[in-house]
Amino acid sequence: MKTAISISSIAVVLCLAFGKLKAPVASLGQQYCSQRFSYCLDYPAPLFSKTYISPDEESLVFTTLDTLGLVTVISTTNDHKLDSYVVFEQRMRVLTAPGCKANILSIINGDDYYEVNFLYDSYYYHQKAGFLRTYDVLFTIKVPVNRPELMMRLKEDVSITFD
C-alpha cells in the first residue's frame, strides 16, 4: 500500500512539474502589486490563513489554511549581472546542506528569468525568478511531497507577473 501511494505521489509531482494536470481555480482572487519591485502577485485570499508583507516590501509570506503550504516572494538588489543559470546554482547551494543536491524535475532559463520545479528534503518546490533592472524577485511555492494536490492547486491559483 505504501509503495502504491509513493508511486502515485511521484506521478502527480512529475505531472505537476511538466504541466500535465490542471487544478480547479479558486475564486475571490486578490492582487498585490509592488511598484518598487515591478511585479504583481495574484492569489486567492481564502486559501491562506496568514499573510505577511514586510514594511519595505522586500518579503511577502503566505501560509495556507492547513499550514502545510508556503508561498513567498523575496526581492533583493540585483548587483550581480550574472547569467540566470549561475544565479539559480548559487541559490541551490544556499538552500541545500553541504554535500546534498536538489532533484531538479524541470528548469527553464532565459536571459532575465528562470522557472524551476525541484524536490529537496521532503518538500516540492516551484520557483520563478525575474531579474528586473536593479532588483531580483524570487517567487517560491513550497509544499510537502506527500501533498501534491496542494502544489497543484497553488501552482494554478497563485501567479506572479513581472513588469
Assess whether pLDDT exceeds 90 at residue 74. yes
- pLDDT value of position 76: 86
Cβ burial, residue 15 (10 Å; 0-12/13-18/19+) = middle
39 SS3 class: strand
Higher pLDDT, 118 or 5: 118
- Mean pLDDT over residues 9-32, rounded? 53
- pLDDT value of position 42: 95
DSSP for residue 79: -
Whole-model pTM: value is 0.80
Assess whether pLDDT exceeds 50 at residue 20. no
pLDDT tens by residue, 55-71:
988 999 999 999 999 99
pLDDT tens by residue, 84-109:
778 888 888 888 888 888 999 999 98
Higher pLDDT, 29 or 82: 29
Spans of all domains in the chain: 2-162
Identify residue 43 by its one-letter amino acid code.
Y
- The hierarchical CATH code for the domain 2-162 is 3.40.1000.10
**pLDDT confidence tier of residue 27, bands split at 50, 70 and 90:** very low
Kindly report the average pLDDT of the chain as a whole number.
82
Alpha helices in the chain (DSSP H): 2-17, 84-95, 148-157
Cβ burial, residue 145 (10 Å; 0-12/13-18/19+) = middle
